[in-house]
Chain A
Amino acid sequence: MSFTLPRRAALAGAAAITGFPRLGFTQPRQPIKVGVPTILSGRVAQLGISSRNAMQIEVDRFNAEGGLDGRPIELVVRDSRGTPAEAARLAREMISSEGCEFLLDAEASSGGFAVHEVVRETGTLTLHVNSETSSLTADPRQRFWNAFRVARQGIHDSIAGGDYASKVARARNLRRWMTVAPDYAYGRDTTAEFVEYLKHFHSEVQVVGDTWPRLFQPDYTENITRLSQGRPQAIYSCLWAGDLVTFVEQASLFGLFANSAFFAVNMADYTTLQQIRNLPRGVHSGNRYLKNFPNVPGNLDFATEYNRRFNTFPTNWSWQSATAVRLLGKAMRDAGGTTPRAVAAKLAGMRIASPFGADGHVTMRAEDQTLVGYAIGWGVTIPADPFVENMQPSNWADIFRLEAEWKRNKGWN
């Protein structure tokens, strides 16, 4: 009796024995690797972690919906420690060694610019998720086809803040202003822009003094003393995160806010709101991330899901990161693949429904490849959840008009 082994069976058997069990069977679809250089250690770690967490929620959703024709997204997250050179290295390594097809750059501004230069060379489609420095996309020299920004911008916040503050100033006759801001480019630029638009909307305002604490300064006594001596009716600050927490706690002890209205553009983020031991009532703040602004079910659902998975609340970096994944996922599906030029073409001008949008949508503006239409507003703090009330949404028509003027003045049109 002769026994003949069919060739396919023999091959499959040999493959199984020799360690190639998938030979002859359907290969699983290759994941779409997306590199995420971000800050997971140091003083900004909380924000970097919140970026990664939000991306993971959205990636899980995308994959559960079938991915891109069966191809899931796989995030490759690495810690740059906030160092631009390390961010650039990681970006290069993700592209060249780890096979990442896209980058979601979740660095702060300086690291973001380093990544920007890397992808300018490599042509990797990149979404900057957290850099708020306006020049990243407003300056035409910084623009190229494969880089997009999915983050709020300093100029948008300054116009919105100036508009809101001018209304409060008129209503309460606040004419003497002082500023306290971190002594580096972001602090100086943002303060200058806020003051410019405050005066634009209310020409009688006078800035009678300023003080510039160092970044990560532990003791603000000298700055608080300077502010107290100036006797301002209102104080503006773009201090952020731990610096803002420390300043507010120390300033409260000195009774600074009893005599001066306080406008802090970066207060309304849960990392800040929940860390201040006795959050003063009545501080005016721009929204960073609030689960009740926009007050829509999708936003609350996002915060609830985030809280369920990570036992904390999202941050400004979270909604931006979630939006970036949603935009990228939709662009890939619309393009029917991961070809960078095709995906970039779909991204430019893309408008998607979003719980973080001012009117339920956000748009990737084609002309400068930056996100617009996201919810911006100001409100006042209260000591307990939801921490900020009476949110006043800003008017995007005014923002667009003044932003265009600002660009013209800079010669960036």
Chain B
Amino acid sequence: MARDILLAGVILAGFLGLEFTGLGSSGLLDFAIRFAIFGLLAMSLNLLIGTTGLVSFGHAAYFGMGAYSFGLLMQSGGWSIPAAIAVAILATALLALVVGALCVRLSEIYFAFLTLAFQMLLHSLILSWIGLTGGDQGLMGGIPKPAFWGIELAKPAHLAGFGMFCLLLSVVLLRQIIRSPFGAALRMLRDNPDRAGFLGLSVYRYRLAAFVIAGAFAGLSGVLMSLYVSGAFPTFAFWTTSGEAIFMIMLGGIQVFLGPLVGTAIFLLLNDWITALTEHHGLFMGTILLIITLGLRKGLLDFVMEWRAARRRAAP
């Protein structure tokens, strides 16, 4: 763990150093903020897909819940940002607990579609509860960002640094979770739930715990998103957001821990380049994703790791 923390600290210091030395650009800041948001969303989802073997189509519900609960708290006044973040994460975890309690008994397609149904339920609730959420126009009026501990999140550089800190902290925590006995149990559930059950593990409780943890981290990414756009919008909780997170994981790799982060970077870079170069975003994005998916047949990091393993085996 000490090594992970050290590595995360070095990366964060390197990123912040870019700003102090003037090497950072506003484009880099924008990218860093979005990379932190979507990287965290993809990493959290991969705890379910890659580690636990539960393919959730409804992960954006927790992303949206985090964004809306944080935004509403900050707009109500009297909340500091750290306190609002903590409550937003707790609220999201609670939602994940309720939804998870009903979903994790199922598996495969039934689990996937039930999570999707709950997500669409939340999306409909956001659209129809106009007095609270602003309906389809979203949470308007801006989100106050009072300074705390010398951090002013209204400044893009501070927000980027804070976003990277949240991402790296979450990555370290997720890695510890996956490497712990709890993580080993989740992998066992993924590979053979019947066997895990015979060994005395409560499949239901372990899956529920993973579901809640993943939801809580997705809630944090939603908080960062609401800070980034100074609002919250129904699309945050729409199935397309879940779909994008799944795409990021598939692009980067499911089996390798950092695969979703690589996928996030590829997805965002592709999105930005295509948007800047052409008006036919969907056509080009779809074609490129199709080529990558059909060409590699797995995520990029999965492909690289398998290729390296094959070379090692082939070596005399």
Contacts and interface: CB of A to CB of B under 8 A. Distances in A.
B76 interface: no
Contact of A97 (B27, B136, B137, B225): B27
A352 interface: no
Given A84-B229, A117-B229, A184 B30 contact: no
A186 B137 CA distance: 9
Contact of A85 (B154, B236, B282): B236
A114 B233 contact: yes
Nearest to A88: B229
B239 to A, nearest CB: 13
Interface stretch (B138-146, B213-221, B252-260): B138-146
B47 to A, nearest CB: 23
A185 interface: yes
B243 interface: no
Interface string B250-291: 000000000000000000000010011001111000000000
Interface residues of A, number: 33
A314 to B, nearest CB: 19
B282 A41 contact: yes
Interface in B95-147: 127, 130, 134-138, 140-143
Contacts, number: 91
Contacts of B225: 85
A133 interface: yes
B231 to A, nearest CB: 5
Which of A77, A142, A184 gathers most chain B CB within 10 Å? A184
B126 to A, nearest CB: 11
Contacts of B29: 96
A78 B277 CA distance: 9
B136 to A, nearest CB: 4
A88 B228 contact: yes
A89 B272 CA distance: 10
Given A84-B233, A118-B230, A142-B141, A185 B135 contact: yes
Interface in B131-171: 134-138, 140-143, 154, 156
Contacts of B280: 41
Contact of A184 (B127, B140, B142, B279): B127
Contacts of B202: none
A210 to B, nearest CB: 15
B229 A118 contact: yes
Nearest to A111: B233
Chain B interface size, under 10 / 10 to 19 / 20 to 34 / 35 or more: 20 to 34
A97 B130 contact: no
A116 B142 CA distance: 9
B293 interface: no
A113 B140 contact: yes
A84 B138 contact: yes
B190 interface: no
A237 B136 CA distance: 19
A89 B276 CA distance: 12
A78 B276 contact: yes
A120 interface: yes
A96 B26 contact: yes
A213 to B, nearest CB: 14
Contacts of A88: 228-231
Interface in A114-167: 114, 116-118, 120-121, 133, 135, 141-142
Interface string A23-65: 0000000000000000011000000000000000000000000
A109 interface: yes
A304 interface: no
B259 to A, nearest CB: 24
B34 interface: yes
A40 B30 CA distance: 22
Which of B136, B137, B229 gathers most chain A CB within 10 Å? B137
Nearest to A182: B136
B281 A81 contact: yes
A89 B26 CA distance: 12
Contacts of B231: 84, 88, 113-114, 117
B85 to A, nearest CB: 19
A97 B154 CA distance: 17
B156 A92 contact: yes
A110 interface: yes
Contacts of B127: 184
Interface string A342-353: 000000000000
B25 interface: yes
B272 to A, nearest CB: 8
Contacts of A92: 30, 156
Nearest to A186: B136
A142 B140 contact: yes
Interface in B205-248: 225, 228-231, 233, 235-236
- 9 A-B pairs with least C-beta separation: A96-B26, A117-B230, A97-B27, A88-B229, A185-B135, A84-B233, A184-B136, A40-B279, A117-B231
Interface of A: 40-41, 77-79, 81, 83-85, 88-90, 92-93, 96-97, 109-110, 113-114, 116-118, 120-121, 133, 135, 141-142, 184-186, 188
Given A79-B279, A97-B27, A114-B231, 11 more contacts: A41-B279, A79-B281, A84-B235, A88-B230, A89-B34, A96-B156, A118-B229, A121-B230, A133-B137, A184-B136, A185-B130
9 contacts: A78-B276, A84-B229, A85-B235, A89-B30, A96-B27, A110-B233, A120-B142, A133-B137, A185-B136
